[in-house]
Amino acid sequence: MIRTRIAPAPTGPCHVGIARTALFNYLFTRKHGGTFVMRLEDTDVARSRKEFEQDVYDSLRWLCLDWDEGPDVGGDFGPYRQSERKQIYQAALQKLLEANLAYPCFCTPEELEEERNRRLKLKLPPRYKGKCPTLSRAEQEAAKAQGKPYSIRFRMPDKTIAFEDMIRGKVQFDGAEIGDFVIVKPDGDFIFHLSNVVDDIEMKITHVIRGEDHVSNTPRHLALAEALGATPPTYGHIPLILNPDRSKMSKRKNPTSVSDYRQWGYLPEAMVNFLALIGWSSGTEREVFSLDELVAAFSIEAVGRAGAIFDIEKLNWLNGNYIRALPLEELQKRLRPYLPDADPDYLRRVIPLIQERLKRLDEAPALTEFFFRDELEYDPALLIAKKHTAEESRAALSQVLDRLSTIEEFGIESLENGLRGLVEELGWKTGHLFMAIRVAVTGSTATPPLFETMSVLGKERCLTRIRRAIEKLSAMSGERT
RNA sequence: GACCCCAUCGUCUAGCCUGGUCCAGGACACCGGGUUUUCAUCCCGGCAACACGGGUUCAAAUCCCGUUGGGGUCGCCA
């Protein structure tokens, strides 16, 4: 039985990298009928916050990446918050201490810093090489008796540690290059390496899929598992998401919070699809997948090894795609937060006109503004039709007004008949007249189709706006004479 | 600097394992054209890559070595 986990640290808003790691874990797990666990790694008390924990849940749930066990849903291997599992780590620590596989380190931060710099200057890897590893029990007790603060280090074995990565194949490190690392802080807090490994063991995690930034931690984790006498999980390291400059994606250079993308009106379907496409390909030419379809098509071996840039343009395209595919009712529902004051019935008629023009939901207010405003603001010069003067445009709009007045019901067909007829009579180019009307009625040169738009706006509003346009044009021709 | 990883169009990638079917396919972006009352959609077309150098081979994007480039890690963060 496969068991996987996503192990976020609630030290910031849910990062898209976490979301993608969760996604790959989710796909792998569902594909194989396993159990997906949410484990909160909140061992860093100073930086962990409840609101971030909530943000992780909200963001991942929004993406429909639900978990089977977790702090908020329970399960047989809880608690699922590391802050609530200290006794478990304490027991593991005792085991290591008793076997002399870990030892107290009394070095001060200053001493460590000094040693680090010295080794760096000698072009040596900055690993720990203090005196504490060889302290006798008596010396350790003496130092403790003096009240000296101490951390606890794990004795990293002096041997080659190799493992078979699900994605990159065989990887190996020299344990001696790594050095003894801290697993407990002087204040008693456990460091991620220990809690992470202990929990993976205790929670019977079989496969760990995580970011590439963890490959160099893997030998530590393998050594820890061995010291604890446990069989380690199988590891797989997915490539990182990159900034356009190819550095690791960071909020300094890019928005990284899932909640940001959510607010901008990216659909969760598009987000999931996009995230899956970063570093993974189905091997076919297909690129649009629902979450369920991804589960069916996914294969961990097909995940690439090279980092990939977060290409917002592709996300935009996918999002537009998904928006266009949404049923009217569904789109209206999703648009509600962006147009909270709109009358539902009226909105139902407006939405079809902007659906294929939307790349993000948050563009809706700007695209539909003229449907809701009373007074339009625009440059009157836009009313002057191409190849025509202000006066000619005014006269034409006057005729448009007359013609429109004779139309009882502003249906698409009646508008088309009336207006196209007028184009003929005037001898104008269709586009020239229609653009003048468009600007008069919407205040914009880029709008949904004219007749549909006018039909939705209704006769009254259209006539009023055309009258206003005529006034503006009169003022302009007046200025000239 | 050390260690580890990576390397196909601007971007995401297919192909690489099992060399020839690849003068390298798809998608996004971009450019051009068509449909069209504008915008958008849609359709058609175009631009554009095997990082470099050695090998191995009848034949290399595919195998090997090296170089270069990029990234990650080196925390009493995760």
ipTM for the complex shown: 0.94
Please check the confidence at residue A125 and state whether its pLDDT lies above 80: no
Q: What is the mean predicted confidence (pLDDT) over A368-383?
A: 91
Confidence bin at A477 (pLDDT 50/70/90): low
Please give the mean pLDDT across all residues of chain A. Answer: 93
* Nucleic acid strand B: bases within 7 A of protein CB: 1-8, 10-15, 25-29, 37-42, 70-78
A183-211: b or e for each residue (b if 16 or more CB lie within 10 Å)?
A: bbbbeebbbbbbbbbbbbbbbebbbbbbb
Tens-digit pLDDT profile for residues A444-470: 999 999 999 999 999 999 999 999 999
Give the CA-to-C1' distance from A217 to B18 in angstroms: 34
Please check the confidence at residue A481 and state whether its pLDDT lies above 50: no
Tens-digit pLDDT profile for residues A138-177: 999 988 899 889 999 999 998 899 999 999 998 999 988 8
User: Amino acid identity, residue A116?
Assistant: R
A457-A392-A474 Cα angle (round to 5): 70
Partnered with residue A208 across adjacent β-strands are A235
A426 is near strand B: CB distance < 7 Å = no
**pLDDT for residue A127:** 77
Please check the confidence at residue A303 and state whether its pLDDT lies above 60: yes
**pTM, whole model, 2 decimals?**
0.93
Lowest mean pLDDT among A244-258, A287-301, A322-336: A244-258
Q: What is the mean predicted confidence (pLDDT) over A33-45?
A: 95
Q: What is the mean predicted confidence (pLDDT) over A292-299?
A: 96
**pLDDT for residue A474:** 86
Please check the confidence at residue A77 and state whether its pLDDT lies above 70: yes
Distance CA A116, CA A127 (A): 7
Distance CA A8, CA A20 (A): 12
Kindly give, in sequence order, each residue whose CB lies less than 8 Å from that of residue A391, ignoring residues fewer than 6 positions away.
A473, A477
Confidence bin at A359 (pLDDT 50/70/90): very high
**pLDDT for residue A375:** 86
Give the CA-to-C1' distance from A356 to B41 in angstroms: 6
DSSP assignment, residue A249?
P
Q: Tell me if residue A253 is catalytic.
A: no
As a whole-number percent, the residues of chain A with pLDDT over 70 amount to 98
Query: Could you tell me the domains of chain A?
Result: 258-372 (1.10.1160.10), 380-477 (1.10.10.350)
**Strand B, CB < 7 A, residues 163-222 of A:** 168-169, 171-174, 177, 181-182, 185-186, 189-193, 196, 212-217
Distance CA A50, CA A56 (A): 10
A265 contacts A360 by C-beta, under 8 angstroms = yes
Active-site residue (options: A31, A148, A248, A251): A251
Torsion of CA A357, A361, A364, A366, to 10 degrees: -100
> A250 versus A126: which is more confidently predicted?
A250
A305 is near strand B: CB distance < 7 Å = yes
Distance CA A109, CA A350 (A): 64
Tens-digit pLDDT profile for residues A5-19: 999 999 999 999 999
Please check the confidence at residue A189 and state whether its pLDDT lies above 70: yes
A352 is near strand B: CB distance < 7 Å = no
**pLDDT for residue A128:** 82
Give the CA-to-C1' distance from A163 to B58 in angstroms: 40
Tens-digit pLDDT profile for residues A385-436: 888 888 899 999 999 999 999 988 898 999 999 999 999 898 899 999 999 9
